[in-house]
């Protein structure tokens, strides 16, 4: 056990102080005897879902061993603290890739399961939970459950997307996808409106496995809803371009105030939208899937007060009007985002009781923490999301109300039967308090 200390989420908000217990292979993870614990992977959740203010965090990065990998079938088993980046370093040279990956490779296997992360190919592959063959769940009563789609299936459904509350995930077994080339053939196009985005999306989803868009949420008037569409696929065999490895940069410290503000957002968005770029290019897979990972500690740009991420999903039938209203409210507030991602989810679902991905269009945005001004804006976005029948992603949240959470995730009451009595989080206590 280490002393009580500050250990934050990626959004650097809210502040929390918790004891830390470092997990090691073979050791009893519950030897700390703390009454209130929560597994902590690499801290890439944005809000308080990975925090346990006043309790104890079980630091899972020490569970970092590979257990088995079959290069003939692409089935890999590893401890839950292994990073996706470490998996890629092992399997890409052998012709395999993650079947689903989020926008950062610095996520642990356990965290990917607990938040049922999604990627650019949801319309074809679904979420991370659909790639799972099995995992082992350790309960604080000493029991060990091997869970899979057909083994302890109720525990499987509760743990996938279960926010780390059903116990400690010890190891995870996943299916990888075979690739002929790690390079990505990418195509990009500007779109001038949300209507054009939907037209492009229909076209590109039929031709490409990976699709995503950046949207200019600072634009107003005729520019409302404009953005850049990006689609890609793994290159065929033999296609490669010699490249000098791109060296990662790092933001050395958090400035007193956010460097992301009204003026920098408008300037960046204007430049980024109009920046000349080839319609078709060849990219290393890291540049395509993880562009922000080249700027380490980029969350520090938002200053010491941190930032909020808001990610919602809107059902297909109401997506166009709801997204237009969300963008209009953001533009009117003057609190635009540089990192605004628009993507359509497919029909597939992992079946997790609290999984976020569902059919519809998802929008993710970052906002500097300006206190009540930002909280009031996010409340106004909640109004639109809820009225449209959508939901907000717990892994990105630090402020949604309990009433909204229970509305977005109607299986929450069933889920409570699977919570380990010693596991809790700042997020769960918040949304269950009102």
The tens place of each residue's pLDDT in the chain, 434 residues long, gives 455 556 889 999 999 999 999 999 988 888 877 789 999 999 999 999 999 999 999 999 999 999 999 999 999 999 999 999 999 999 999 999 999 999 999 999 999 999 999 999 999 999 999 999 999 999 999 999 999 999 999 999 999 999 999 999 999 999 999 999 999 999 999 999 999 999 999 999 999 999 999 999 888 898 999 999 999 999 999 877 666 667 788 888 888 888 888 888 888 888 888 888 888 999 999 999 999 999 999 999 999 999 999 999 999 999 999 999 999 999 999 887 888 999 999 998 878 999 999 999 999 999 999 999 999 999 999 999 999 999 999 999 999 999 999 999 999 999 999 999 999 999 999 999 97
Q: Give the separation between CA 245 and CA 275, rounded to whole angstroms.
A: 24
Burial (CB < 10 A; 0-12, 13-18, 19+), residue 72, is exposed
Q: Give the separation between CA 193 and CA 426, rounded to whole angstroms.
A: 39
4 touches 17 (CB < 8 A) = yes
DSSP 198-214: HHHHHHHHTT-SEEEEE
Q: Which tokens is 79 given? A: 């401890």
Helices (H), 388-425: 402-408, 412-415
Q: Is 63 left (phi over 0), alpha (psi -120 to 50) or beta?
A: beta
| pTM (predicted TM-score) | 0.95
Q: Which residues neighbour 318 within 8 Å (Cβ) at sequence distance 6 or greater?
A: 388, 389, 390
Beta strand 96-98 with 37-40 is: unpaired
The residue assigned the tokens 């050395």 is 252
| Count of CA atoms in the C-beta half-sphere (13 A) of 87 | 35
CA–chain centroid gap for 161, Å, is 11
Q: Give the separation between CA 329 and CA 381, rounded to whole angstroms.
A: 8
DSSP 263-276: HHHHHHHHHHHH--
> In which element (H, E) is residue 330 found?
helix 319-333
Where do the domains of the chain lie, and which CATH numbers do they carry? Answer: 184-238+247-402 (3.40.462.10)
48 touches 430 (CB < 8 A) = yes
């Amino acid at each position: 056990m280490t002393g009580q200390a500050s250990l934050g989420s990626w959004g650097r908000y809210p502040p929390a102080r918790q004891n830390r217990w470092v997990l090691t292979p073979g050791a009893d993870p519950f030897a700390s005897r703390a009454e209130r614990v929560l597994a902590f992977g690499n801290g890439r959740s944005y809000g308080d879902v990975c925090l346990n203010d006043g309790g104890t965090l079980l630091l899972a990065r020490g569970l970092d061993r590979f257990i088995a990998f079959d290069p003939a079938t692409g089935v890999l088993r590893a401890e839950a603290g292994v990073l996706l980046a470490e998996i890629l370093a092992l399997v890409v040279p052998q012709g395999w890739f993650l079947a689903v990956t989020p926008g950062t490779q610095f996520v642990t296997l356990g965290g990917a399961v607990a938040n049922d992360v999604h990627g650019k190919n949801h319309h074809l592959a679904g979420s991370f939970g659909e790639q799972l063959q099995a995992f082992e769940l350790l309960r604080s009563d000493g029991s060990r459950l091997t869970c899979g789609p057909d083994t302890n299936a109720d525990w499987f459904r509760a743990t996938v997307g279960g926010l780390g509350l059903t116990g400690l995930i010890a190891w995870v077994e996943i299916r990888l996808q075979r690739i002929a080339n790690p390079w990505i053939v990418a195509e990009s196009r500007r779109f001038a409106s949300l209507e054009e985005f939907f037209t492009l999306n229909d076209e590109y989803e039929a031709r490409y496995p990976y699709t995503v868009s950046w949207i200019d949420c600072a634009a107003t008037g005729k520019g409302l809803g404009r953005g850049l569409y990006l689609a890609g696929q793994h290159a065929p065999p033999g296609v490669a371009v010699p490249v000098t490895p791109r060296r990662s940069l790092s933001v050395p410290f958090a400035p007193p105030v956010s460097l992301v503000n009204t003026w920098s957002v408008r300037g960046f968005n204007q430049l980024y939208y109009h920046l000349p770029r080839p319609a078709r290019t060849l990219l290393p897979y890291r540049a395509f899937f993880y562009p922000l990972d080249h700027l380490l500690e980029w969350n520090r740009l938002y200053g010491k007060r941190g930032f909020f991420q808001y990610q919602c999903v809107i059902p297909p039938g109401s997506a166009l009007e709801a997204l237009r209203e969300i963008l209009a409210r953001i533009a009117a507030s003057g609190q635009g985002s540089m990192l605004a991602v628009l993507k359509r989810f497919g029909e597939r679902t992992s079946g997790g009781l609290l999984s976020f991905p569902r059919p519809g269009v998802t929008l993710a945005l970052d906002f500097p923490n300006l206190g009540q001004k930002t909280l009031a804006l996010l409340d106004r976005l909640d109004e639109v999301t809820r009225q449209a029948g959508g939901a907000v992603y717990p892994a990105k949240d630090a402020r949604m109300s309990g009433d909204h959470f229970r509305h977005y995730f109607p299986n929450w009451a069933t889920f409570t039967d699977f919570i380990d009595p010693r596991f809790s989080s700042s997020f769960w206590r918040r949304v269950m308090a009102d």
